[in-house]
């Protein structure tokens, strides 16, 4: 069977069975980061992202912004677990004719974002490739009491997003700001039950939370904040690469959060029992068909 027949997530599930993990691994494959126990009060967070020309960015796009995106994706993963990004390795696959001035511009984008978020670029690798490939591996840290994963959503939780969604391909996918400050604000002042960053689309990434939490959800179409660049509701719900936070918390915490004056977060629905599945309602509380609202998948 070919990978495009089984899909990305079935492929990952099949490969996962080859690995046995020791007790130091608190979370392996299946979340925004792997979580490693290394200190009495803190965990290590490990994540990696590979960007390919023609898939994650187009030839001719500003390489400084491409470099920025490459690092930003991994920073966003660390944020989604409530952590702080600290160290990164950057590996490149370069066509033989790639110009050194373009490589320099790529690294200027990486360096600028690294400086902004306190990330140390400590090494990497280079290799010949038929097209530009950028692979980032990142290490972060999080206090044990502040770690948030995807599997903690509970019925009655309110579901929030941290910003407007959709239309990312028209620029935001290269210029987004990883929500580290917002995530740290959340985990330092509130009990967040589950969190993910929106990379593959709102509904698909919400489904990751629901699957791992064994829960359902009721989402209200009119409450989903739509970016000016989004040309349709479908783009807001499915396009992905917004890199906003999607999270859940109990009702009392949600009420407190809505009164905060530092950041604006948008409630879009509620976690429900697993048997209800994921439901999307319009402004008249009519159930909408979500079967064709699919997020991004590589295969």
Give the residue extent of every domain in the chain: 23-145, 148-288
CA-nearest of 106, 36, 49 to 77 is 49
Tell if the pTM clears 0.85, that is, is over it: yes
What's the burial of 240, exposed, middle or buried (CB within 10 Å: 0-12/13-18/19+)? buried
CATH architecture assigned to 23-145:
2-Layer Sandwich (3.30)
Read off the DSSP letter of residue 262.
S
Mean pLDDT over 194-208 rounds to 97
How would you classify the pairing of strands 84-94 and 120-128? parallel
Residue 89: left (phi > 0), alpha (psi -120 to 50), or beta? beta
Distance CA 102, CA 51 (A): 16
158: Cβ–Cβ under 8 A, 6 or more apart, which residues?
A: 248, 249, 250, 251, 254, 267, 269, 270, 271
CATH number of 148-288: 3.90.650.10
The stretch 54-74 carries a mean pLDDT of 96
43 vs 145: CA distance, rounded Å: 10
Q: Where are the alpha helices (DSSP H) in the chain?
A: 3-6, 8-16, 63-80, 100-117, 172-175, 180-189, 202-213, 233-238, 251-258
pLDDT > 70 in the chain, percent: 95
Q: What is the mean pLDDT of residues 264-293?
A: 91
Q: Do domains 23-145 and 148-288 have the same CATH topology?
A: no
What would the pLDDT profile of 140-171 be if each residue is shown by its tens digit?
999 999 999 999 999 999 999 999 999 999 99
| In contact, 136 and 88? CB cutoff 8 Å | yes
Write the pLDDT tens digit of every residue in 121-139.
Answer: 999 999 999 999 999 999 9
């Amino acid at each position: 069977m070919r990978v495009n027949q089984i899909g990305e997530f079935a492929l990952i599930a099949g490969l996962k069975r080859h690995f046995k993990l020791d007790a130091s691994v608190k979370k392996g494959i299946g979340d925004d980061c792997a979580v490693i126990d290394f200190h009495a009060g803190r965990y290590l967070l490990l994540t990696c992202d590979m960007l390919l020309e023609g898939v994650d960015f187009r030839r001719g796009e500003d390489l400084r912004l491409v470099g920025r995106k490459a690092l930003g994706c991994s920073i966003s993963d660390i944020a989604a677990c409530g952590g702080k990004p600290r160290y990164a390795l950057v590996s490149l696959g370069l066509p033989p004719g790639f110009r050194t001035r373009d490589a320099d511009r790529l690294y200027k984008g990486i360096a600028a974002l690294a400086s902004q978020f306190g990330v140390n670029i400590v090494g990497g690798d280079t290799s010949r490739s038929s097209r530009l490939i950028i692979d980032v591996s990142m290490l972060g840290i999080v206090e044990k009491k502040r770690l948030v994963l995807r599997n903690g959503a509970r019925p009655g939780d309110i579901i929030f997003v941290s910003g407007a969604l959709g239309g990312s391909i028209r620029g935001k996918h290269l210029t987004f700001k990883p929500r580290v400050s917002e995530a740290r604000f959340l985990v330092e002042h509130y009990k967040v039950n589950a969190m993910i960053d929106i990379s593959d689309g709102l509904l698909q990434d919400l489904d990751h939370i629901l699957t791992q939490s064994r829960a359902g959800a009721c989402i209200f179409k009119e409450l989903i904040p739509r970016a000016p660049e989004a040309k349709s509701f479908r783009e807001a719900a499915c396009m992905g690469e917004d890199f906003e936070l999607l999270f859940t918390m109990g009702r009392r915490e949600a009420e407190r959060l809505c009164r905060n004056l530092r950041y604006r977060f948008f409630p879009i629905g509620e976690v429900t029992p697993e048997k209800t599945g994921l439901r999307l309602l319009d402004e008249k509380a009519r159930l909408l068909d979500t079967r064709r609202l699919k997020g991004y998948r590589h295969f």
